[in-house]
Chains A and B, each alone.
Chain A
Amino acid sequence: MPSSTSNSENAADMSKFERTLPGNAIGLSALIGLLVMIVIMSGWEMYWRSDGSIPSYRNSEGLWAIQRRRVNETEGDKTVLAGSSRMYFNLQLDVWEQESGERPIQLSLEGTSPVSLMEDLAEDPDMTGTLLVGVAGEMFFTGFEYRGGAFTRFAQETPSQWMGQQISMLVEPYLAFYQHDYSLFTVIKRQPFPRREGVFFEMDVRRLATYTKDRHARMYSKVETDPEYAEIAKEIWAQFYRPIDELSEEERAQGLENHNAQIDRAVAATKKLQERGVEVIFVRHPFEGIYDIIEPMYFPRAASWDVLIERTGALGVHWQDHEELQGFHLPESSHLAAEDADRFTQALYRLIERERAQHNTGEQE
């Protein structure tokens, strides 16, 4: 019987397990390979820096999970920000902190309805502070979750993913190319290939913000300084627009049913949070351009925002109702320019404080 399972093989027999190796100077190749990589990578980094890219943390699911965990660690009594991209572009954490003395936890996710997060926080007894919810029609009243993976990441993050995020954060602030928008196949996809007839070409959202370690977002300067770049963003926002008249009866009925279901979900979550003493405040952020068409067409205020505020009994701040929340610069129609966001945040904070006092007095009466 062969003894090859045993551990008593002699060294001479070991040759049968050895892998054959290339006959040339593979060590020299390794060195050349390393040098080639360093040279090309340096060029790639310089290219993106010359294009205006600023190194910044990546708005990853792992980074979101870190912020979400803060609620469970020691900061559940703080102000938590939920919403989609307008909530993190427009609400500047630094300014809010200056005004209130407390830095909020930023849990907004671009292209994503905050309703699932509201439900999650409603079930989390550690959440005891204030929840500020941004309401953007196409997300909130449709339940759309472009970044829904972040919720799964938080719930199921593996030790390996956690560690990977920590390592990634060590290099992110120093590398300009290390952004999804500059990854090889994202760049290839947006090259001017001839469009294929009969196929919808979905344009990916370009980089629009820079982030700090606690997801404090600020509009990427190129959006403000390069009108062509801002126009691309506007095109992207408009790419899915269809006049409501073009929808079939069935599509409209489904849309309405979904719209009502989202309000029901939000109302249920709000009630649960309120019962636990969590203050919930809804905010409608400024918009213009294509959104001046989409919002009233698909989400008329009387059937969406007003219903939400009435049914939840929560404080609601709508930008159209307050002069101090108007007149800001939105380079791509949806989000505020960085300095305007500072002024908006200050105005919003002061307005909320005022409205809050009135709202609470009204409730007591």
Chain B
Amino acid sequence: MLFNSLTFVVFFVLVLALHNAPLSWTTKKTNLLIASYLFYAAWNPPFVILLWISTFIDWHVAKRLFIEEAKSRRKMLLAISIIVNLGLLGYFKYGGFLLENFVAIAAAAGVEYQPPEWNIILPVGISFYTFQTMAYTLDVYLRRAEPSKSFLDFALFVTFFPQLVAGPIVRPTHLLPQFAVPRVATPKQLYWGLGLMTIGMFQKIVVADGMLAPAADAVFGAEAMLHPVDAWLGTLAFSGQIFSDFAGYSTTAIGVALTLGFGLPDNFRFPYAAIGFSDFWRRWHISLSSWLRDYLYVPLGGNRKGNLRTYANLMTTMLLGGLWHGASWTFVVWGGLHGLYLAVERWLKARVGRKAIWGRLPAQIFLALLTYFLVNITWVFFRAPDFATAWRMIVTMLTFVTDGEKVLITPHIVQVVIAIGVMLVVHWRMRERKLDEVVGRMPAWLTGVIWGVMLTLIIITQGGSDAFIYFQF
């Protein structure tokens, strides 16, 4: 079920009413669990079975892991969880990709092999809930935490509908304790939750789908070499679209959870004001970057095993992070570029990073713009349907050869310039601030007027219930 759908509006009202009804806490949690399964089944009912498999396996594996002392048996139990979770993810998400590459390698070796067409539908949000449930088992394996004592709480942790399909990827240590005690939103939490939902939906429906998607689609759908103005505007449009789409989902998810009385962690902190790439990854998809840090980068050795290993660990983490986003080599390149940026930044910081000049405002603005420029280069690979398109775009953007095709019409250019201009200013001004603090300092009437205008724009945009981009990951 999409947040930006009429079905969700009705669903949300019913869930909220039930959650505030005079029922026992166990009944309320059972209601939330059933609602979460309905939320997921609204796309494709049979895929709920995948949630049940993950829930069942990780519940039992974690319980056994906790009492098991023998190292070999513990490793075997962990392997069961990883094989089941990554096996499902691999089959549904990477099966076609692996087969495609196998055929290509076979063809390169002179073996002609034509497999049947791979027609497997990708279950929505499988990468998100797989990582979430794996975190639970890994925490218990690493003796970072005890397993949950309540199966209902655990099942709800795996399935909690606000963040089920596109994050934030919540740690068991953050969410499970909240299920332990009765929670209903206070009036202030309810209103602010609704406010966050409005902001999230505004980002998705008005900014991402309405203002920016037409330009990004036109540019990345073009088959010819483009004029550099179009290539740059299309890429900038996508940078804003992907942020507004994904941060819009996260903000809505946080808002929905808050209206029910639950606190979810931030997933974005104005990332286009980042100064450098380690800063960027502390602001962009925070729940994924911290997951990768805690469950991949650190176990690989992190920065504790010398410089060379640190760089290798960074690259490995980011390459796999790229692949997490999608079964395509373009995503691997996207991750590889981020790994490279992080490695270069680390190298440079060790040599020139301590100079006072970098602390001055002009230098900070320069570095933020440089970071945004380099991030945009990576977005080309992320959005392009193939390497040929990505290469054409990169060449045009970096050479400024002006004999390419123009595809963007004036209204779409105006929309991109306004949306990206406003977004960059807002991100810079909010760099060290928090949204609730800024809203808290505004007069209530002004907040109300802005809120009303956003609601109106959401309605009159009449969004076509376009799926969120990150659902495919």
Residue ranges of A at the interface with B (Cβ–Cβ < 8 Å): 1-9, 11, 13-14, 17-37, 39-41, 44, 158-161, 163-164, 167-168, 177-178, 180, 182-185, 188-189, 191, 193-199, 201
B43 on interface, CB distance cutoff 8 Å: yes
B221 on interface, CB distance cutoff 8 Å: no
Neighbouring A residues of B262 by C-beta, 8 Å: 17
Neighbouring B residues of A40 by C-beta, 8 Å: 452-453, 456
Contact B440 A194 (CB under 8 A): no
Residue ranges of B at the interface with A (Cβ–Cβ < 8 Å): 1-2, 5-10, 41-45, 136, 139-140, 143-150, 153, 172-174, 176-181, 187-189, 191-192, 194-195, 198, 206, 210-211, 214, 254, 258, 262-264, 406-415, 434, 436-437, 439-445, 447-457, 459-462, 465
Given contacts A4-B145, A23-B440, A183-B462, contact A29 B406 (CB under 8 A): no
Contact B180 A7 (CB under 8 A): yes
| Shortest beta-carbon distance from A174 to chain B in Å | 14
Contact A24 B453 (CB under 8 A): no
Distance A185 CA – B462 CA, assembled complex (angstroms)? 9
Contact B139 A168 (CB under 8 A): no
Contact B410 A188 (CB under 8 A): no
Neighbouring B residues of A196 by C-beta, 8 Å: 406, 408-410, 413
Distance A36 CA – B153 CA, assembled complex (angstroms)? 40
| Shortest beta-carbon distance from A74 to chain B in Å | 25
Contact A26 B195 (CB under 8 A): yes
Given contacts A3-B145, A37-B455, contact A9 B460 (CB under 8 A): no
Given contacts A7-B148, A196-B406, contact A20 B436 (CB under 8 A): yes
Contact A184 B210 (CB under 8 A): yes
Neighbouring A residues of B214 by C-beta, 8 Å: 185
Distance A235 CA – B214 CA, assembled complex (angstroms)? 23
Contact B448 A36 (CB under 8 A): yes
* Interface pairs (14), CB distance under 8 Å: A6-B177, A22-B437, A23-B440, A30-B191, A34-B452, A36-B448, A36-B456, A37-B452, A44-B460, A159-B41, A159-B42, A160-B7, A183-B460, A193-B410
| Shortest beta-carbon distance from A211 to chain B in Å | 16
Distance A29 CA – B140 CA, assembled complex (angstroms)? 44
Given contacts A4-B145, A11-B181, contact A164 B6 (CB under 8 A): yes
Distance A320 CA – B159 CA, assembled complex (angstroms)? 63
Closest 9 CB pairs of A and B: A36-B452, A32-B448, A33-B451, A5-B145, A160-B42, A22-B440, A23-B440, A9-B177, A7-B180
Contact A24 B1 (CB under 8 A): no
Contact B153 A7 (CB under 8 A): yes
Neighbouring B residues of A22 by C-beta, 8 Å: 192, 436-437, 439-440, 447
Most A C-beta atoms less than 10 A away, residue of B44, B451, B453, B465: B451
Given contacts A33-B451, A36-B449, contact A177 B191 (CB under 8 A): no
Given contacts A21-B436, A164-B5, A168-B6, contact A180 B191 (CB under 8 A): no
Contact A199 B407 (CB under 8 A): yes
Contact A21 B455 (CB under 8 A): no
Given contacts A9-B181, A17-B263, contact A29 B6 (CB under 8 A): no
| Shortest beta-carbon distance from B456 to chain A in Å | 4
B439 touches which one: A11, A24, A39, A44 (CB < 8 A)? A24
Contact B444 A32 (CB under 8 A): yes
Distance A294 CA – B304 CA, assembled complex (angstroms)? 73
B5 touches which one: A5, A160, A182 (CB < 8 A)? A160
Contact A29 B191 (CB under 8 A): yes
Neighbouring A residues of B173 by C-beta, 8 Å: 2, 4-5
Neighbouring B residues of A32 by C-beta, 8 Å: 444-445, 447-449, 451-452
Known: A19-B189, A32-B452, A163-B10. 4 other contacts (CB 8 A): A19-B254, A36-B452, A161-B465, A189-B411
Distance A27 CA – B189 CA, assembled complex (angstroms)? 10
Distance A195 CA – B409 CA, assembled complex (angstroms)? 7
Measured CB to CB, the nearest residue on chain B to A31 is B448
Distance A18 CA – B257 CA, assembled complex (angstroms)? 11
Given contacts A178-B462, A191-B411, contact A1 B144 (CB under 8 A): yes
A30 touches which one: B181, B451, B456 (CB < 8 A)? B451
Given contacts A1-B144, A19-B258, contact A7 B448 (CB under 8 A): no
| Shortest beta-carbon distance from B434 to chain A in Å | 7
Distance A195 CA – B408 CA, assembled complex (angstroms)? 10
Neighbouring B residues of A26 by C-beta, 8 Å: 188, 191-192, 195, 439, 444, 447
Neighbouring B residues of A21 by C-beta, 8 Å: 188-189, 192, 436, 440
Contact B456 A37 (CB under 8 A): yes
Measured CB to CB, the nearest residue on chain B to A22 is B440
| Shortest beta-carbon distance from B69 to chain A in Å | 14
Given contacts A5-B148, A20-B434, contact A194 B410 (CB under 8 A): yes
Contact B444 A29 (CB under 8 A): yes
A7 touches which one: B42, B150, B413 (CB < 8 A)? B150
Measured CB to CB, the nearest residue on chain A to B182 is A11
Measured CB to CB, the nearest residue on chain A to B152 is A7
A1 touches which one: B136, B146, B415, B445 (CB < 8 A)? B146
Given contacts A24-B444, A160-B5, A164-B465, contact A7 B408 (CB under 8 A): no
| Shortest beta-carbon distance from A139 to chain B in Å | 23
Distance A330 CA – B194 CA, assembled complex (angstroms)? 50
Distance A185 CA – B418 CA, assembled complex (angstroms)? 14
Measured CB to CB, the nearest residue on chain B to A179 is B462
Contact B459 A163 (CB under 8 A): no
A14 touches which one: B177, B191, B443 (CB < 8 A)? B177
Contact B177 A4 (CB under 8 A): yes
| Shortest beta-carbon distance from B143 to chain A in Å | 6
B447 touches which one: A2, A8, A24, A199 (CB < 8 A)? A24
Contact B211 A185 (CB under 8 A): yes
Distance A13 CA – B180 CA, assembled complex (angstroms)? 12
Neighbouring B residues of A27 by C-beta, 8 Å: 187-188, 191
Neighbouring B residues of A4 by C-beta, 8 Å: 145, 172-173, 176-177
| Shortest beta-carbon distance from B11 to chain A in Å | 8
Neighbouring B residues of A183 by C-beta, 8 Å: 460-462
| Shortest beta-carbon distance from A206 to chain B in Å | 15
A13 touches which one: B136, B143, B177 (CB < 8 A)? B177
Given contacts A19-B254, A31-B448, contact A6 B148 (CB under 8 A): yes
Contact B147 A5 (CB under 8 A): yes
Measured CB to CB, the nearest residue on chain A to B62 is A5
| Shortest beta-carbon distance from A48 to chain B in Å | 10
Contact B440 A41 (CB under 8 A): no
Distance A5 CA – B457 CA, assembled complex (angstroms)? 42
Neighbouring A residues of B194 by C-beta, 8 Å: 30
B414 touches which one: A37, A178, A193 (CB < 8 A)? A193
| Shortest beta-carbon distance from B421 to chain A in Å | 17
Measured CB to CB, the nearest residue on chain B to A33 is B451
| Shortest beta-carbon distance from A278 to chain B in Å | 30
Neighbouring A residues of B452 by C-beta, 8 Å: 32-37, 39-40
